[in-house]
């Protein structure tokens, strides 16, 4: 069932969303819709006046944003979209504007208030399963330890020290003095054997 949303009417509705979700913009509304019970419905967000059109590449497949045009309100475009529809009874208009809701009902559309719609979005957001936490909960297995050693270039026998210097293109390696300085910085105190000449 297609939804026509009186966007700014919904965005200016207060007292429904908790403080951490309140004050959302068009993008925030799109994110809430795309993970709600309405995510599989055709949704048109109808906005007053003109504005930057979001890139269609960034929009979910079933959501569109329409602006009424210079000097026009969303109410006008909502009526036009209803009048152009082949089956008006399938359309649901989301608004708390009495004039818009009355015009929609006269055209045999269903209506839902902005407060009820935001309540649905909130309920869906609160019941959505949290993504799994991929952080390890216990000791790392050998495979994971080996991955860390390789990723951070650690010495396998002493992971607090960097691995031995790798050749730098061809047969060049870091000079021994540079390696000693790096080891001293990592150890916090100079290595007596490396510092004293033989």
Q: Average pLDDT of the chain? A: 80
Q: Is residue 55 domain-shared with residue 95, that is, in the same domain?
A: yes
Quick check: 59 pLDDT over 60? yes
Q: Is residue 97 domain-shared with residue 183, that is, in the same domain?
A: no
Range of the domain at 168: 143-191
Asked if residue 132 is part of any domain, the answer here is no
Asked if residue 133 is part of any domain, the answer here is no
Quick check: 3 pLDDT over 80? yes
- pLDDT tens digits for range 104-159: 999 999 999 999 999 999 999 998 766 555 555 666 677 777 776 776 666 666 65
Q: Which position has the token pair 């919904």?
A: 10
For every residue of 27-84, DSSP letters joined together read: HHHHHHHHTSTTTTS-EEEEESS--PPPPGGGS-TTEEEEE--TT--HHHHHHHHHHH
pLDDT given for residue 157 in this prediction: 66
What total number of domains does the chain contain?
Answer: 2
The sign one gets for the Cα dihedral 113, 118, 121, 124 is negative
Q: Is residue 79 domain-shared with residue 122, that is, in the same domain?
A: yes
pLDDT given for residue 191 in this prediction: 47
Asked if residue 197 is part of any domain, the answer here is no
Quick check: 170 pLDDT over 50? no
């Amino acid at each position: 069932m297609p939804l026509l949303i009186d966007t700014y009417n919904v965005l200016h509705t207060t007292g429904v969303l908790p403080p951490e979700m309140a004050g959302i913009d068009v993008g925030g509304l799109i994110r809430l819709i795309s993970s709600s019970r309405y995510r599989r419905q055709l949704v048109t967000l109808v906005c007053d006046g003109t504005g930057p059109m979001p890139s269609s590449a960034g929009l979910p497949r079933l959501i569109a944003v329409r602006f009424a045009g210079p000097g026009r309100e969303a109410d006008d475009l909502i009526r036009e979209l209803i009048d152009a529809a082949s089956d008006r009874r399938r359309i649901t208009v989301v608004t708390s504007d009495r004039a818009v809701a009355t015009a929609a009902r006269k055209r045999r559309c269903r209506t839902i208030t902005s407060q009820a719609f935001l309540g649905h979005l909130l309920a869906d957001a609160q019941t959505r399963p949290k993504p799994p936490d991929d952080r390890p909960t216990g000791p790392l297995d050998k495979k994971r330890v080996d991955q860390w050693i390789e990723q951070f270039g650690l010495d396998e026998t002493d992971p607090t020290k960097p691995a031995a210097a790798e050749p730098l293109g061809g047969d060049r390696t870091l000079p021994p003095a540079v390696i000693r300085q790096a080891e001293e910085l990592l150890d916090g105190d100079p290595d007596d054997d490396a510092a004293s000449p033989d």
